[in-house]
Chains A and B, each alone.
Chain A
C-alpha cells in the first residue's frame, strides 16, 4: 500500500489536514476519477462484462419482478427488482417508510425461481424482512412524481419526453437506501472483499445503482407500451442516457465518515496524493492540456444546468458559475503556458475561487491523468480493525504530543459557549432513524451518540490535566473508561492524518449536508440538491453509458455532458 501512495519528491506537497479536513471544504467536494462509480465502470469495460436480463415479469400496471445479470470474467451478480403498485399517500423517502415503488436486492450469482420466491417474500419488506449471505445489497426506490408520468405519457404518444423537464429532475426513480455490508442478514464485507471486482469501496452498491438505472428506463418504456401499444416508442439512446438514478440521503448516512475514520483517511489521502502528483507535472503535453480545457468547458456547462432551490446551495452554484468564468479567463490568458501550470492554477484558485470552485478545479485537474491517478483507487478500502486496538503502553506525554500535533483545532473551540454544544446526535426509537436534536431544548441528550468528537477530545484534555507524562495510557483508561473512545481516535491520528473532520460536529451552525456531500462525492454523485441542512438529493450515473453500451463507448467520459452533444465514441483519450 505504501508504494501505491508514492509521490514525487520536491516542494509541492499534499495539502495538509488542517486545510482539507474542514467540514465546509468537505461539503464542497465534487466527483472525480477516483469516484467509486467511475472505478466500477472502468473495470466493467476493461474486463468486458456482459449484461443480460433473464427475467422480465412485469404486468401492464408495472407490478412484478425482473432480473438483471452482470456477468464478469469470474462471477455473475444479479439485480433482482420488485416493482410495486404504491399508494401515493405512502410514498416517503424517510427511514420510517414501510412501502416503496420498487425494491431490490443484489444476488450473488443468478437466482433460480425458488430463490426469487424467497426474495419476493422478503425484499419488499426491506428492514422488516431478512435476506441471506447470498444477497450482497438491499435497496429501494421511489418514482419521481414530477417526471415519471410525463415520460410514460410522452413515449406512449409516440414522442420523446421534454429535455428541459428531464434536465430539471434528472432521474425517473430515486433510491432512498442502498444497504450492503451485512445489513439485515446480507453478506458481510469480509466475505466478498477478496474478490478483485468487489475489493474497491462500495462496488456492490455502485453496481446495484447502475443496474437499477437500466430497470427504471425499461419500466417507463414498458408502461408506455402497455398504455398505447400501437403508438408507443422507446427512448432515443442519447435521451436515455440523460437519466441517472436519484438518491435521497438524510442523517442515516451522516455518521458514516465519523464512524469509519480509516476509510475516510484513505479516500482523502488518495485524492490528495492524486492532486499532488498532478501539481508536480512540469510540462503537460498538448493532449493533456486539451483534455483539461475540454473538461473545464463541459463542467462549466454542467454547472449551468445544476439546479437547487436551497437557500444556501443556490448562491453557491451561482458563485461556482462565476468561478468558471474566472477560470476560463485565466486559461485564456495563458495559465497553461508555463512550467508547473497545474500547481500555479491551483494556488491561484485557492486565493481567488470559492470552496466549490477550488474543489471543482481539483477534480478537473485529475481528469487528464488516469495513468497517475486511477491506480490510487486500489488504496481506498480500509480495515477499521487496523487502527482499533488501544496502545496501552503509550505514555501520557506521547498522547499529549499527538493532541498537540493533530488536535490543535479543538482548542480553537470554546465549549463553555452553549452554541458550541447546541446539537446532539441520537437514534430515534422510531424505526431506528438517526436524528439531530437541540440539546438545550429537547429531551434525549443523555442518550447522545458518540459523534461529538471535538467535545470529547476537549474533555479528554481536561481529564489529562494534572496527570503525569510518565503514566501509561493503560492506567489512565482504567481510571477513566469514559475517555476510551476519544483516546482511540487520538492514537489513530498518528498514522491516519486525514481521519478526523476538523470541525465541531455539535455546533449550532454545523451542516450535516456537508458530511453527506463528502461521502456522496466519493461515490460519484452530481447535482447535489439539499432539501434542508440535513437532507440532500443527488444524481448518480447521469449521462453514463447504459450497461449494454459499455463495450462501444468510453466507460469513463460521462461525468459532464459533451459541449457539442456528440454521442460518446471510442477514441484514444487519456
Chain B
C-alpha cells in the first residue's frame, strides 16, 4: 500500500511505543523510519524487523554501555534506535575528533538516519562503516555510499563513526525517493503493535470520552 511519509511516521511512532520503547525514543523511531523511506529504503520493513526482534525486551538489555571500548549491550545486540539516539546525543564527541565505535547492533540501517542528522546538526562530514558497508554523510545531511554497499543486514558487529574532512571523490549520492510502498505483512505487523497503544472501548468511554454523546445533530 502506498503511504505518505506522514503516515509512515505516525505508524512508526505508535508501533515503537507498542513494542515497549518510551515515547521519546518512539519519536526517534518515527523520524528514522520516515528518513529511510524518504531516501529510498524500506523504512517500515526495517522497523518491523527490528521491533519483531526486540519486541517488549527491556531497555536495559538493549541499550549501550559506554564504558571502555566499543559500545555494547549486556548480552544481546544493541537496538539500533537506542544506539542511534545515543550516537546522535553523543555527536559532540565526533565533532571533537573522537571516533564512536559500536559493537553488535541489530538492523544497522536504522542507525543511518541518526548519522545523517548528526552530520547536519554539527555541519561536518561523517563516515559510518561496518563490515562490507561504507556510508558517508555530508554537512547537509545527504547520504552517500560506496558501490555495492548494503546497509540492509540483520546485524553488524563493529560500526565505526568518524568525522572526516570531505567526501571521497566520485562517490554516489543517495537521492530522496517519493511514493513509498509498504507491503501488507509489514503493515499488518506494525498496526498490531500500534494497536497496543489504544485503549479498548467501553460504553463509558464511548459516551463520555469524546464529549458529544452519540449525536451532534443540529
Contact = CB atoms under 8 A, between A and B. Distances in A.
Contact of A426 (B22, B117, B199, B218): B199
Contact of A191 (B117, B178, B202, B206): B178
B86 interface: yes
Given A392-B90, A428-B199, A474-B90, A437 B209 contact: yes
Determine which residue in A91, A185, A188, A447 has the highest number of CB atoms from chain B within 10 A of its CB, and name it.
A188
Interface residues of A, number: 73
Interface string B158-201: 00000000000000000000110000000000000001111111
B2 A132 contact: yes
A376 interface: no
A92 B215 contact: yes
Interface string A116-151: 000000000000001011000000001011100000
Contact of A481 (B22, B90, B201, B208): B22
B214 to A, nearest CB: 7
Interface residues of B, number: 52
Interface in A426-470: 426-430, 432-437, 442-444, 447, 450
Interface in B46-96: 59, 63-64, 66, 82, 85-86, 88-92
A251 B218 contact: no
Determine which residue in B85, B200, B218 has the highest number of CB atoms from chain A within 10 A of its CB, and name it.
B218
Interface stretch (B24-32, B132-140, B146-154): B24-32
A88 B25 CA distance: 45
B2 to A, nearest CB: 6
A18 B6 CA distance: 32
B179 A133 contact: yes
A533 B211 contact: yes
Determine which residue in B64, B92, B200, B209 has the highest number of CB atoms from chain A within 10 A of its CB, and name it.
B209
A182 B7 contact: yes
A103 to B, nearest CB: 17
B2 A250 contact: no
Given A189-B6, A392-B91, A484 B85 contact: yes
Contacts of B90: 392, 474
Given A392-B88, A447-B199, A534 B210 contact: yes
A573 to B, nearest CB: 35
Contacts of B117: 389
Given A187-B4, A481-B63, A532 B86 contact: no
Nearest to A532: B211
A434 B211 CA distance: 11
Nearest to B71: A478
A389 B88 contact: yes
Given A188-B6, A429-B200, A537 B88 contact: no
A358 B21 CA distance: 44
Contacts of A133: 2, 4, 178-179
Interface in A509-565: 512, 531-535, 537
Contacts of A447: 196-199
Contacts of A292: none
A190 interface: yes
B198 A485 contact: no
Contacts of A535: 210-212, 216
Contact of B64 (A190, A426, A478, A534): A478
B212 A430 contact: no
Contacts of B21: 481
B205 interface: yes
Contacts of B6: 181-183, 188-189
A217 B80 CA distance: 55
A306 interface: no
Contacts of B121: 389
A443 B196 CA distance: 14
A537 B205 contact: no
B217 A91 contact: yes
B27 A183 contact: no
Contacts of B64: 478
A435 B201 CA distance: 10
Given A251-B211, A447-B199, A474 B89 contact: yes
B5 interface: yes
B205 A437 contact: yes
Determine which residue in B24, B85, B86 has the highest number of CB atoms from chain A within 10 A of its CB, and name it.
B24
A44 interface: no
Contacts of A183: 4, 6-7
B212 A427 contact: no
Nearest to B86: A478
Given A427-B197, A447-B199, A435 B218 contact: no
A531 B218 CA distance: 11
A500 interface: no
A93 interface: yes
A178 interface: no
Contacts of A145: 217-218
A477 B28 CA distance: 13
A174 B216 CA distance: 11
Given A182-B4, A478-B89, A428 B24 contact: no
A146 B88 CA distance: 57
A429 B198 CA distance: 5
Interface of B: 1-7, 21-25, 27-28, 31, 59, 63-64, 66, 82, 85-86, 88-92, 117, 121, 178-179, 195-202, 204-206, 208-212, 214-218
Give 3 nearest A-B pairs by CB, closest first. A484-B24, A182-B6, A435-B209
20 contacts: A94-B212, A94-B214, A96-B206, A130-B1, A133-B4, A146-B218, A181-B6, A185-B3, A185-B7, A250-B212, A251-B209, A390-B89, A428-B205, A437-B205, A475-B66, A478-B66, A487-B24, A488-B27, A531-B211, A537-B216
Given A185-B1, A442-B202, A537-B216, 19 more contacts: A93-B216, A183-B6, A251-B210, A392-B88, A392-B90, A426-B198, A428-B201, A430-B205, A433-B209, A435-B209, A437-B205, A443-B199, A444-B205, A478-B64, A478-B86, A481-B24, A484-B23, A485-B23, A532-B212
